[in-house]
Amino acid sequence: MRTQSADTNPIVEEKLINIIKENSIQKRLSLFFHLSSLTKKLSYRALVRKNPKMNKQEIDLLFIKLNYGEILHDKVKKYYSR
């Protein structure tokens, strides 16, 4: 099997993949949603730390721009300005 991660030992990677495969679909989805949520929270928190002078609305807009793109950013910014 071709490794998916350049910085992980192939034997360890294979064991991790097998552990994931042994779980039910429900458990895998639960893990996926948990990790997705955690990633978003950590990303947002990093933006807050890197931009201490920005208010919440500015951080929200920056988060949207970086994660979802310019089009959604512009629509939300327009909505906020009402």
The structural domains of the chain, with segments of one domain joined by +, span: 1-50, 52-82
Mean pLDDT of 4-28: 88
User: How many alpha carbons lie under 13 Å from residue 33 in its C-beta half-sphere?
Assistant: 6
Place of tokens 């779980």: 23
pLDDT at 7: 82
Q: How many CB atoms are closer than 10 A to CB 12?
A: 11
Q: Is the pTM of this model over 0.95?
A: no
Residue 49's H or E segment, with its range, is: helix 25-50
Look up residue 59 and give its two tokens. 């951080």
Angle, CA 41 vertex, CA 75 and CA 24 arms, to 5°: 110
